[in-house]
Amino acid sequence: MSVSYASVGWNASKKSYDATIAVGLSSISGCFVGVATIAHPDATIETILIRALATAASWCSTSSSRSARSAARARDFSRCSTNRRYLGVTMFLVAAAHAVLAIVQFHALGTSTRWSAF
């Protein structure tokens, strides 16, 4: 271990990797919201957004655990191995946003009074 701390350097490769993640998440979420709005017109936007975030987190999990690991074994794709952590952190943040929205939607804004006796 060293005594000094060196932060992560944001080079062009990491910036392009982050941009790819952002484009992937926004396209998956946008497509999900568009299709769900047409397929289920009676659903609220909060419910659709919760489901879209769950789908995006699942995509990040699948990409980080399966695709990036397999691609990292090849020498040409060694960049995926070093940037796999960013995809995992992004998956955590998207899953946390999904959890917070679900808790707020179903527990704070719920209209059911069947548990009011407790």
pLDDT (tens digit, 9 = 90+) per residue, 61-85?
877 666 666 666 665 555 555 667 7
> Are 101 and 46 spatial neighbours (Cβ–Cβ below 8 Å)?
yes
pLDDT at residue 50 in the model:
92
Q: Is the pLDDT of residue 20 over 90?
A: no
> Are 95 and 57 spatial neighbours (Cβ–Cβ below 8 Å)?
yes
Helix, strand or coil, per DSSP, at residue 45: helix
Which residue has tokens 């946008």?
A: 30
pLDDT at residue 118 in the model:
44
Q: How many CB atoms lie within 10 A of CB 20?
A: 12
Kindly report the pTM of this predicted structure: 0.72
Q: Is the pLDDT of residue 116 over 50?
A: no
Question: Which tops the pLDDT comparison, 28 or 67?
Answer: 28
